[in-house]
Structure 1
Amino acid sequence: MKDEIILQEYNEHFISGYHLTTQERNYLKEYAYIHTNKPWEQRFFVDELREGLRVRTTSYVGIIELERLRIIIQPKFDPTFAQVIDMMLYAQGNAKWWEQQTVGSAGHNNLFILLVTRFIEETELLLRKGLKKDYIEEDDNLRHVRGRISIKENALKNYNLPTKIYCSYDELVNNIKENQVILRVLELLTVTVLTEKLKRQVHKLRTQFEILTNTYQGNKWPHIIYNRLNDSYKMSHVFGKMLFENLFLQNYMKRQKNYFALLVNMNEIFEQFVGELLKQYLQKGTFKVMAGKRITDAMLLDGERYRDIIPDLVVQDYTRNVVTVLDTKYKGYDLKRVSTEDVFQLSFYAQYYQNGENYAATIVYPVFKGTVSESRRIIETNKRAKNSGLIYLQSIHIMQTLEWIREMDKKSLHSLALRLIGY
């Protein structure tokens, strides 16, 4: 039986008496690094001390499975991970995800188990509705004519063999990309740590899909266009893609089942969530929302491109001819000071887009535990200089916002979107 430790993001915890094996140490080191050339940027930090382990968490939440220890890292605003899943779905453009939900395991404190459960539920529902088939071209040496005769191949393969005829024909099969990717995820799940019930469900589904299709061989999730013919796959693919992108790179799991991790970056999820909110609830035609647009001429050396900048979100108001720059920060800025680095970064972005004497921009951050509701404050910068600025600190209550989305409270959401851009 494994010990289970529950932590929160941006926290530190000492685990007394636990010492890593060589394999555990290598695995944690490999998984912790986001970029090998930036060792200061890690998903988590583990320090081996004489008395045990010190674990420091960042913005990544989820689960880390070791041989004798399970570490669950929860977001501060949502210990069950149910709201995190909803944020992820909404951020990917699934604005009506709640209408397609099946009976899930909301309230479970393990993000991985929650994702697997939802993937299984959606895939079982898909099977009940019926899998999509498509025509593919087959070539075969047959006893009867089917489709069209391949003259060249027939002459080569059936010379002096009158009982066979080589044909090309269309076959209606389940062996299509929509089904192949589901089988690939099921294969990846068979080497992870699951409950006995989930293991049985995964094995059953894998057996059913292996009869119908081959597995997807790519190392990136394929681009699939959804229409009325394959729309029933969308939710299964949403959860399947989340699992695939976290599981595929963990080749270590193929050799050892005792070690496993699935962590998601709340910084990225929060940025995508806010971006989708602005796109949905700022009036189209009046506003244009641009996310992650790369700027190549903000820093020049001798007139040549020197360094690029990438603001999180830029909103163009065509009516007022105003550009608003937003930076999403998944930090508890109600309870602590905004870092100097964040102020300088956003001031620079704002000055690039706003050519007047004064500039303004907004830092958007979530309401964390310890604060009651949404708030708005102002940091004044360069007040004595000709080019002074305002940095708005605008918090957003994630759970309240998700509730408005479920209730389709467009008035409240439109008002929130305007507040986010300083109106």
Structure 2
Amino acid sequence: MPREVAAGLVAARIADVSPTFFADEYRISGVRKVGVVRIAGHDVWIRPKTPVRRLFSMLGYARAGSAIWEDEDFGFAADEDLVPALAHAFERQASRALAGGALRGYVTRDDALPLVRGRWRIGDQLTRRGGQPLPVEVSFDDYVEDIAENQLVLTAATRLLRLPGVPADVVGRLRRVVRVLDGVTVIPVGAPVPVVRPDRRNARYSAVLPLASLVLSGASIEQRTGSLVGAGFLVDMWSVFEDFVTAALREAFRPYGGELVAQYASTLDVEGTVKIAPDLVWLVDGEVRACIDVKYKVEKHGQYPNVDLYQMAAYCRRFGLGEGWLVYAAGEEPGENAQLVDGPSICRLTLRTDTTPAVLGEQMRGIARRLARSLSAPA
């Protein structure tokens, strides 16, 4: 690949790039994202090992706590790559949501009008108008289409239209979505994305809003003056896997009581200066009963990194645990337990991410059963 593309991959922290002895040939490692990005005029595709339809199942579970994005309803299986699949699913759900016209809602506005409407802002009238009676500074509720739900859908559609790899037929349908939402405000790049809570009023948007949020969270690479890196849509696979495992295990642990807490903050030293934050801890009556760390990748040839054992050993020592648990997204066979000298036993489990959502859920329930059974067994 050209040198500019290699430099762009490093600048965007997409992967580690090392030159070889041959011109325009590089060794790529440490790939942290999947998706597509335009670098120096070239489209760079990063495909996940996990099938796209399974990737979206994990994304949906992590974001909503349930398998909200099923293959049959969203059509993810029809597309091989991440961006075409996402664009197709978003356009399909946006068209459904807008079939009856754009949603309307009440928005509070401040304005200066020739007559009193809503609430008269007397303080602003005095400071801005110097005592003049007209125009009148007022606040009122307006029933409009320019509401957060439509802003999310419109902004996601416009960003998808800028991405490389969106199929031509989907582009045409996305443009129709944009036309339906004419007059709605586009959320500027870098501005906070509004949080929309589901209710009866916006129920018909329930499927498209999570997809819109996904588009906005992944399409964070925008063209800057003098930059090699252009528009793109990239997803952190380690974050997807960790969020999915957290949401799925939290559901799987419900029958056993207690609370599964993510990123549990604590310290290793007496002075409290060495901070630690295990991915997951199981709290029962305020006491840490189990510690789980989630790892997306193992080393080459199926070997588990020793540093993971060191880390888990420190967690177990801190919380007085006889067992620690490492969950990997690799392999089909469970890893062997590691019994440390004068220390805890560390169990290494693997999850198959190339299977169905039902099987993934059963794997999570199996982990919860195994962990709960081991804690209840006599020493």
Report the TM range for the smaller structure's normalisation. Answer: 0.7 to 0.9
Q: Counterpart of 1:352?
A: 318
2:174 corresponds to: 202
* 1:393 pairs with one of 329, 348, 356: 348
Number of equivalences:
368
Q: Which residue of 1 aligns with 2:370?
A: 419
State whether residues 392 and 422 of structure 1, in contact with CA within 8 Å, keep that contact through their aligned partners in structure 2: no
Contact kept? 2:335, 2:348, Cα under 8 Å: yes
- The answer to whether the 8 A contact 1:362-1:393 is kept is yes
Cα separation, partners in 2 of 1:381 and 1:134, compared to 1, 3 Å:
same
Matched, 1:135 2:106: yes
Distance verdict in 2 for CA 1:281–1:361, change over 3 Å: same
Cα deviation for residue 146 of structure 1 reads: 5.0
Mapped partners of 1:220, 1:404: distance in 2: 36
Structure 1 pair 127/334, CA: closer, same or farther in 2 (3 Å)?
same
- Secondary structure of the structure 1 residue equivalent to 2:156: helix
Q: Give the % identical residues.
A: 19
Alignment of 1:165-184 (within 5 A): 169-184=140-155
Question: In structure 1, what is the equivalent of residue 283 of structure 2?
Answer: 316
CA distance in 2: counterparts of 1:314 and 1:160, whole angstroms = 63
SS in 2 for 1:245: helix
Higher mean alpha-carbon deviation, 103-112 vs 48-57, is at 48-57
Counterpart residue number, 1:298: 268
Alignment of 1:54-93 (within 5 A): 54-57=26-29, 58-66=31-39, 69-78=42-51, 81-93=52-64
Pick closer, same or farther for the CA change 1:148–1:278 going to 2, 3 Å.
closer
User: How is 1:258-297 mapped onto 2 (pairs within 5 angstroms)?
Assistant: 259-283=230-254, 286-295=257-266, 297=267
Shift in CA distance, 166/415, structure 1 to aligned 2, threshold 3 Å: closer
Equivalent AA in structure 2 for residue 396 of structure 1 = L
Q: Which runs of 5+ in 2 are unaligned?
A: 375-379
Residue 278 of structure 2 contacts residue 291 of structure 2 at CA under 8 Å; is this kept in 1?
yes
Structure with more strand by fraction? 1
Maintained 8 Å contact 2:105/2:144: yes
With over 3 angstroms needed to count, the CA separation of the structure-2 counterparts of 1:147 and 1:62, relative to structure 1, is closer
TM-score by length of structure 1 reads 0.74
Matched to 1:314, the amino acid is V
Assess if the C-alpha contact under 8 Å between 1:327 and 1:364 holds in 2: yes
Partner of 1:5: none
1:30 corresponds to 2:11: yes
- In the superposition, relative to structure 1, how do residues 379 and 140 fare at CA in structure 2: closer, same or farther (>3 Å)? same
Residues 192/98 of structure 1: CA separation in 2 closer, same or farther (3 Å cut): closer
Relative distance call for 1:176 and 1:101 in structure 2 (3 A) is: farther
Aligned to 1:20: 3
Shift of 1:145: 6.4
When normalised by structure 2's length, the TM-score is 0.82
Which consecutive unaligned segments of at least 5 residues does structure 1 have?
1-17, 33-41
- Deviation of 1:274 (Å): 1.3
Indicate if the aligned counterparts of 2:60 and 2:69 stay in contact, CA closer than 8 A.
no
Q: Superposition pairs for residues 89-128 of structure 1, below 5 Å?
A: 89-98=60-69, 102-128=73-99
Change (3 A) 1:168 1:364: closer
Instruction: Please state if 1:232 is matched with 2:213.
Output: no
- Which residue type is aligned with residue 329 of structure 2? P
- Cα distance change on mapping 1:63 and 1:285 into 2, 3 Å: same
Structure 2: how far apart are the matches of 1:228 and 1:101? 25
> Is contact 1:191-1:257 (8 Å) kept?
no
- Where 1:279 maps in the other structure, the secondary structure is helix
Structure 1 equivalent of residue 340 of structure 2: 381
Task: Decide whether aligned partners of structure 1 residues 288 and 210 sit closer, same or farther in structure 2, where only a CA change above 3 A counts.
Answer: same
Correspondence for 1:330 = 296
Q: Is contact 2:298–2:330 with CA below 8 Å preserved after alignment? A: yes
- Residues 163-216 of structure 1 show CA distances to partners (whole Å, capped at 9, x for unaligned) of x877654321111112112222223233322332232222222222123x1122
Indicate if the aligned counterparts of 2:281 and 2:288 stay in contact, CA closer than 8 A: no
2:222, 2:229 within 8 Å by CA — same for their partners in 1? Answer: no
The amino acid that maps onto 1:216 is: I
Work out the CA distance in 2 between the residues paired with 1:160 and 1:228. 42
Deviation string 1:372-401 (CA, Å, 9 cap, x unpaired) is x4425211111xx3xx22010112223446
Match status 1:222 vs 2:194: yes
For residues 118-168 of structure 1, the C-alpha deviation after alignment (integer angstroms, 9 at most, x for no partner) is: 2221211110154332222443534x765566778599599698xx87765
Coordinate RMSD, CA, aligned: 3.5
Change over 3 Å in CA distance of 1:137–1:100 after alignment to 2: farther
Relative distance call for 1:390 and 1:210 in structure 2 (3 A) is same
Matched, 1:364 2:323: no
Larger RCO of the pair (alpha carbons < 8 Å, separation 6+): 2
Q: CA distance change for structure 1 residues 135 and 76 in 2, over 3 Å: closer, same or farther?
A: closer
Deviating more after overlay: 149-158 vs 260-269 = 149-158
